Copies of this chain bind each other. A is one copy, B any other.
């Protein structure tokens, strides 16, 4: 039995499958395809099928799986996925606020540590941080009970008319992009004016009270979630 199984009982790999299904299933928790999972996790589709069958066939199944019809999380699977997301986001917040990490480095560290911290560690950093509800990228931190509000924001690429918005959150998975965006002032909480859409689904914007126009690529715009602002 080589692969580390945590107190919890499942391996790091299993955790990662559950998180990916949670994330790809979206707020509607719709079924996720093998291909989408394969791409997200960077493994071959055949490996996905294997793992899903194992997860679905356990005594306490973590997913509901039907051949050729994708998967969704079981309630046990969802519980564990949210637990891991809670760990991830608390760790990110801790690294940023207490250990003064640069914003673009917190994700990779959290991605590893999320699987290995104890409940005590989780509880202690949460307490130290004053039980935060939002992580440094603007994402909700699931509660200890596994509750997480649905995201009300929209992706910047979905904006049709121009207007003024608040940046709700920024995707943290690509450190390069995150660092570049942050250097332009694009981070959770900042104000953002959308001038117009550009070719190839890009976006011309300005940030804060600056008048300088920024031309965001489609990739960058896709990493930014915003909410309309009254003023």
Contact = CB atoms under 8 A, between A and B. Distances in A.
Interface of A: 2-4, 12-13, 95, 98-101, 105, 108-109, 112-113, 116-118, 120-121, 124-125, 128
The A interface, classified by DSSP as helix, strand, loop or mixed, is: helix
A121 B95 CA distance: 8
A101 B116 contact: no
Contacts of A3: 2-3
A118 B109 contact: yes
A117 B125 contact: no
A97 B126 CA distance: 16
A27 B116 CA distance: 31
Contacts of A99: 121, 124-125, 128
Contacts of A128: 98-99
Given A4-B12, A95-B121, 12 more contacts: A2-B2, A3-B3, A98-B98, A99-B121, A99-B124, A101-B124, A105-B120, A108-B118, A109-B117, A109-B118, A109-B121, A112-B118
Can you list the 7 inter-chain pairs with the closest CB atoms, starting with the nearest? Answer: A99-B124, A112-B116, A2-B3, A116-B116, A109-B118, A113-B116, A3-B3
Contacts of A12: 4
A228 B95 CA distance: 42
A12 B120 CA distance: 22
14 contacts: A2-B2, A2-B3, A2-B13, A3-B3, A4-B12, A98-B98, A98-B128, A99-B128, A101-B124, A109-B117, A109-B118, A109-B120, A113-B113, A113-B116
